[in-house]
Structure 1
Amino acid sequence: MNSSRLTVEPVSASEHESTIAALPVELHVPFEQSAAWAGVDIANGARSHYAFLHFKREGELVAFASVDRYVRRTRESLVVMAGPVFTVERTPALEKAVVEALAEHARQDPTINPMYLRVFLDYPDAVPGTVRSIERGLYEREVVVELGKSPEALKKSFSSTARTRINRAARAGVEVREITENRGEVFRTECFPIMEETASRDAFSLLPAAHYVSVLEDAPEYSRLYVAYAPASDDAPEAAEKIPVAWMLTTEYHGRGCYLYGASNHRAQETSAMFALMHTILLRLTETGNREVGLTGITSERFPELKGVENFKLRFSKRIDELPRLFDVPLQPLKYRALRAALLTRSQGPALARDAVSRAKDLAGKARAAVTRPKAGAAQESIAKN
């Protein structure tokens, strides 16, 4: 079909991968746009893969999108995770044409009935009706480490603090191992408990353990798991068995690596284990031919809580890339507005309740003070009478 002079062509997973393989390695293709990612977390009952769609103008590929379909109790949507990806210069007009072509394709498909599209955009003002997604989505800025260096040059490119901490980890007996067997089981028993500790410490929400295991088991050729082990204490016997203290899960796709997930416990902080882990994964991703590594999210308007990890990641590179933001494109505007209002009310409810309790306590305190403390005028009157 044609929309805004673009043709939308559904393709198979193998055709999708062949097309990407033929593209220049300099083009950033997020792993979430790969055929492999379509099989990750497939047990999620709300999510199914909808289609690989290629957008062409006069026969030339200009963009592509791996599209997921989400069906929840109150709505259906199409989600393009970390996409669309543009193979030519991304302009406001082209971004608008791609979104409109996707919307028209969805409207013409009798097998689906999405209320909205959820896509990552650079030029949302170019697409009429687009609104910032109520969900935060993926990170909006990331630190990127450029590879292609010798091991010595790579380490030298780090900050002096990072180099010092890497050396400190070695002196503390930190050992980094790549897990190549029983990765799902190792993750559940050794890694996820560390992530639960990290989430409790840093106050962020966890995905179910099954999601991380799915990345390892359903995309094994693209994912790697590294675990840092260290002595349980500084005075532990040298021969004592080391314990897991930190881990990192990486992916690599189309010449680019990604530090996708990771976590550390208190002992990892004492031993600088995360610095040893980062050094190791950057060396390994260099060895396997990647040109750069994305270290994922840092602080932004929607992710202010990432300031701590930003400081850590900037020890390894000062390059920061700005990424497209997440937006919704309503296909059923009236229903979408009603849904959005309901979701906003629900998401703001706990915060509003906390504010109400705080205000009530404040008013109660002021009332008690008013009862027990005489007014200035009354005090002056009492003094005048005595």
Structure 2
Amino acid sequence: MTSAPAQIEHVSDEQFEALVHGSGHRVPIEQSPAWDPYDAIVEGRTFWRRLAYSVDGQPQAVVALTEYTGRGFHYLWAKHGPIWIGDQTAQAELGLRKALRDYIAREAPHIAFARIHAKFPAPDLHELLQSVTYDRTVAIDLTRDLDDIFAAFSKRRRSGIRKALRDEGFVLQDESGLTREAFDELYRIYEETAERDGFGIYQADTYFSMLEGLGQHARVFVARRSDSGTADAPLEPGRAVAWVIVTTYEGAAVSYYAGASAEARGNNAVMLLRWHLMQMLKDEDVTSYDLMGVDSERAPTLKGVGDFKRQFGEESTVDGAWDLPVKRTRYRVLTALLRLKRALRR
């Protein structure tokens, strides 16, 4: 039995979005044209193409890819793509990968591998050379009544939020559009968060570039202290203690980055800020709020944040990222070099 003819086609932004919307789906912000300006201002990234995958003339999936430049190699990354229009089966995913690998090899022979998301593990998919993926997340349905959303929080979270609501020393606000100088205050909190929780971070310009590039699609919510504290523990009025960068697109919100001082963790500012922004997003007709990744077998290092996020709702499965070698020999060499580098560090 012969397989149906498959085709990869370069499509415009308008065609890409029309195919997704026509199937009743929405476009993740990372796959949308709104993401392209962000890629354009980050060093080492260049938006490549939007593609449509068809079988027997029927569209099955679309995918947007950005070219990344590593140290001596290039790869394509389809963040949260492909978007499936047809049935997403293991066989359908394999067919897309074969067509995509051939297309990239022909159109961009300098590319070593493509990073794409998939539901089904397969021999041609490899764990990421670098970076951390996730295949479980906590996404909150904001179409429910506020009382129902709040009731789904853990008892500990509900208690902490109620306690924080009685504290008149908090100011919670949307500070989107802040200046680069103002962002330094938030970045210092992020440095404290990273040191305390043991994860690496980029330079401040990387995060501020996201706010610049995404424009109205990137929001910054900040919790500040408005009181002067006590004689034993004075506080500077208006000082930021916690913040969250949230992306919004087509009614979907995603928490991308967040920082919290030790003080914020002790006075429930973190939970209060999350509850505040959920209410704001719901008022703006945003229908879902994704807390972006919890731990699983593939992502054990996310356990700390996973324990925190699960207290806001139930987790669900999402497609994790995988590396798809295009130049197989080159990819094997890159894998060996990276293993050697890690061994030398140890």
TM-score above 0.5: yes
Pairing partner for 1:253 from 246, 249, 255: 249
Q: How has the CA–CA distance of structure 1 residues 343 and 180 changed in structure 2, closer, same or farther, with 3 Å as cutoff?
A: closer
- Alpha-carbon distance in 2 for matches of 1:135, 1:302: 13
Q: How does 1:292-303 map to 2 (within 5 A)?
A: 292-303=288-299
Structure 1 stretch displaced more, 213-222 or 8-17: 8-17
CA RMSD of aligned residues (A): 2.4
Query: Hey, what's the Cα distance between the residues in 2 that align with 1:11 and 1:207?
Result: 33
Partner of 2:120: 123
The answer to which structure, 1 or 2, has the higher relative contact order (CA under 8 A, 6+ apart) is: 2
Once residues 20 and 183 of structure 1 are traced to their aligned partners in structure 2, the CA distance between those partners, rounded to angstroms, is: 35
1:213 is the counterpart of 2:208: yes
Q: Report the CA distance between 1:153 and its aligned residue.
A: 3.1
Cα distance, 1:65 vs structure 2: 0.8
1:13 maps to which residue? Answer: 13
Name the aligned partner's letter for residue 7 of structure 1.
Q
Superposition deviation, residue 48 in structure 1: 0.9
| 1:249 match: secondary structure | strand
Q: 1:146 to 1:183 in 2, by over 3 A?
A: farther
The equivalent residue for 2:304 is 308
TM normalised by structure 1 equals 0.81
How does the TM-score come out when normalised to structure 2? 0.90
Aligned pair count? 342
Moved more, 58-67 or 97-106: 58-67
SS at match of 1:169: helix
Following superposition, the deviation at residue 79 of structure 1 comes to 1.8
Q: CA deviation at 1:6?
A: 2.2
Letter in 2 for 1:279: W
Deviation at 1:238, TM superposition (A): 11
Partners of 1:229 and 1:349 in 2: how far apart?
A: 44
Name which one, 1 or 2, has greater alpha-carbon Rg.
1
Q: Does 1:153 align with 2:148?
A: yes
Structure 2 unaligned segments of length 5 or more: list them: none
In the alignment, what sits opposite 2:67? 69
The whole-number CA distance in structure 1 between the counterparts of 2:5 and 2:274 is: 46
Residues 257-310 of structure 1 deviation map (CA, whole Å, 9 limit, x = unaligned): 111111100110121101111101211221222322111121223432322222
Asked whether the 8 Å contact 1:50–1:69 carries over to 2, the reply is yes
In the alignment, what sits opposite 1:40? 38
Structure 2 contact 219–245 (Cα < 8 Å) conserved: yes
- Measure the CA separation in 2 of the matches of 1:266 and 1:107: 49
Tell me the residue number matched to 1:177: 173
Secondary structure, aligned partner of 2:202: coil
Whole-angstrom distance in 1 between the partners of 2:81 and 2:329: 26
Task: Specify the alignment match of 1:380 in structure 2.
Answer: none
The 5 Å alignment of 1:160-239 reads 160-172=155-167, 173-187=169-183, 189-231=184-226, 234-235=229-230
Equivalent residue for 2:276? Answer: 280
Please give the alpha-carbon distance, in whole angstroms, between the structure 2 residues aligned to 1:265 and 1:142.
Answer: 24
Q: Secondary structure of 1:205's partner? A: coil
Q: 1:131 to 1:238 in 2, by over 3 A?
A: closer
> 1:333, 1:66 → 2: CA distance?
22
Query: Among residues 253, 262, 266, which one is paired with 2:258 in the alignment?
Result: 262
Change over 3 Å in CA distance of 1:117–1:41 after alignment to 2: closer
Aligned to 1:244: 240
| 1:327 counterpart = 2:322 | yes
- Alpha-carbon distance in structure 1 between the residues aligned to 2:151 and 2:70: 50
C-alpha spacing 1:107/1:4, structure 2 compared with 1 (3 Å): farther
CA distance in 2: counterparts of 1:13 and 1:238, whole angstroms: 53
- Cα gap change, 1:71/1:308 in structure 2, threshold over 3 Å: closer, same or farther? closer
Call closer, same or farther: CA 1:253–1:17 in 2, change over 3 Å.
same
Where structure 1 has 5 or more consecutive residues not aligned to the other structure, the ranges are 352-386
Asked if structure 1 preserves the Cα contact closer than 8 Å seen for 2:20 and 2:26, the reply is no
Alpha-carbon offset, residue 193 of structure 1: 0.7
Q: Is the 8 A contact 2:75 2:111 kept in 1?
A: yes
d(CA) in 2 for partners of 1:73, 1:307: 30
Does the 8 A contact of 1:226 with 1:249 survive in 2? yes
- Residues 137 and 269 from structure 1, CA distance in 2 versus in 1: closer, same or farther, beyond 3 angstroms? closer
